[in-house]
Amino acid sequence: MISIADKIATMWPEITLFIGTCIVMVLGLSSKLVMRKACSPVAGLSLIIAGLLALQNDDAVGVMPYLMPYAKALIAGVGLLLLMLLAGTVDRDQEMRIAGGAAFNPLSSTRAEFYAFFLFSLTGLMLCTGAEDLIWLFLALELTSLPTYIMVTISTSRSRGQEAGIKYFFLGALGAAIFLYGFALLYGGTGTTNLVEMQTQFAQGQINTIAMLGLILSVIGVSFKIAAVPMHFYTADVYQGAAAPVSAFLAFVPKAAGFFAIMLLVSTVGWNQGVAGGLPEPLHATLWMMAVATMTLGNVLALLQHSVKRMLAYSSIAHSGYMLVGVIAGPGETGSGSLGFVGNGLAAVLFYLFSYGVMNLGVFAVVACLEKTGDSGERVEAEQVGDLQGLIRTKPLLAVVLTICAFSLLGLPPMLGFFGKLPLFTSGIRAGEIPLVVILGLNSAIAAFYYLRLVKAAIIDEPAPNAEPLVSTPFGARTLAAGLSAAGVVVFIVLAGPVMRSSERAAVVRDVSALEVHDLADGQNAVPVAVND
């Protein structure tokens, strides 16, 4: 087993973020404006250092031994874009009052807590990638989720933000209870909480009914994080109630944590049992039904929305269904007949998380950059589809960003989203999941309607005659985040190769069948793999 010292050596990115969190909590309570404004740069510096440290760490641990470097660098990169988008989300009114001569009141300031919770959540997400134990995985998932409940609640002063936070918290507690019960059953069925030891037992045919039921309940509970059916009910209300930058945060961080957890859990049983897709039949049937229901329900309900944030919420549900296809397909086979990246479902999921994090942020950034006057006279987000009509004439840069990112979310070639979605199709075909791939294709066609509707409103439609003119947000970092997101969609069309190769290596699953008998008996954490590096 890996020693404590070796484990700590893999956690320098998380330690860096924790140090940054401590500094941010102090700076955010300073009476000096320049100190309070330093919260975001300090958080950004912490993410940059954490990402660089993650790339330096190549230790092989756990059931997916090479997941950590890729996943932590991905988290740091997308986290930087999210950090830019969060500018001005909290304390905006208070800072205006202070600028007018009011005294600073630390009790009413939330900047320190908000940025600290942001870093805490990303720290939990990084910890998920290195989980080797059910207890560790549970704590990492909760560290990822608990800060988001507060971020949703304080992201806006309007009552619907508080309502969204309450809904999110109670449904999150339900999801946590379900997967924690599943973890307890897994422990009861295997006698261990260690994922590697669990994988070794399953490879020896020691998977009993209790363990299988625990695995299924764990996956269903964790599906709350990815907003998959049947744990999807909160998504639209929470996304609409939170400020757009926080909604963008929710669309990536909990979803990434959920998929990392699901891949680790499913890797314990492997893809070399059963018939369809290589998974045991009960688990395969559960994931198959979840994938179909999630992508179909998400796309159909997105068609009915007039709020951009609710539309993106149901779109987020649908994209989780797409990625479940890659989980079902599994990592593929070794040997010269392997299809490599395009046949590796887990690599497809990891690459799609990167693609989705970049392109989805761009659409949320457009919403976050546009404001109008609300009923009570305060500035509110321009989140209705009708608000975007004629955007190309008034805010051409944001209209271009919206168009590029919407086309990419649709999967239109040659956008980044196309290269993200294509391996999901090919890995599904390789695994023999033809009906699932057909359903995936039909759902992609359905999604075209509402994505093109956004583009039509921004590029083709004329503004309504009595429409209130939109005002750009005073926070330039949000516009920069929008521009970088659109640039990423274009640039990574050319530079996707290295990311694809990294995701393929990160998708390697520990191959227990290649271990020696004495290694199995001793529970050694050896790392023979099921996919070529």
CB 344 within 8 A of CB 325: no
How far apart are the C-alpha atoms of 168 and 12, rounded to whole Å?
31
Q: Where are the alpha helices (DSSP H) in 191-226?
A: 195-203, 209-222
Nearest to 50 by CA among 152, 140, 126: 126
List the pLDDT tens digit at each of the 533 positions of the chain: 567 777 888 899 999 999 999 999 999 998 888 999 999 999 999 999 999 999 988 777 789 999 999 999 999 999 999 999 999 888 888 888 887 878 888 888 889 999 999 999 999 999 999 999 999 999 999 999 999 999 999 988 777 888 999 999 999 999 999 999 999 999 999 999 999 999 999 988 778 999 999 999 999 999 999 999 999 999 999 999 999 999 999 999 999 999 999 999 999 998 874 344 589 999 999 999 999 999 999 999 999 999 999 999 999 999 999 999 999 998 876 433 445 677 889 999 999 999 999 999 999 999 999 988 766 657 788 888 998 999 999 899 999 999 999 999 999 988 999 999 999 999 999 988 999 999 999 999 999 999 999 999 999 988 877 777 788 888 999 999 999 999 999 999 888 889 999 999 999 998 776 554 334 334 444 444 444 33
DSSP string, 486-513: HHHHHHHHHSHHHHHHHHHHHT--B-GG
Nearest to 350 by CA among 272, 408, 420, 416: 420
> Across the strands, what pairs with 370?
472
Please name the residues in contact with 363: beta carbons below 8 A apart, sequence gap of 6 or more: 308, 312, 402, 405, 406, 409, 454
- Residue ranges per domain, the chain? 4-522
Q: Cβ–Cβ contacts within 10 Å for residue 515, how many?
A: 18
How far apart are the C-alpha atoms of 405 and 422, rounded to whole Å?
17
Asked whether the bond before 414 is cis by omega within 30 degrees of 0, the reply is yes
Q: What is the largest CA-CA distance in the chain?
A: 78
Q: Cβ–Cβ contacts within 10 Å for residue 360, how many?
A: 25
CB 317 within 8 A of CB 297: yes
How far apart are the C-alpha atoms of 118 and 280, rounded to whole Å?
38
The secondary structure of the chain in percent helix, strand, coil, rounded to multiples of 5, reads 70, 5, 25
**3 state SS of 372:** strand
Tokens standing for 523?
């529970």
> Across the strands, what pairs with 223?
none
**3 state SS of 370:** strand
Tokens standing for 449?
């309607």
**Between the CA atoms of 405, 407, 411 and 413, what dihedral angle is there, to the nearest 10 degrees?**
-110
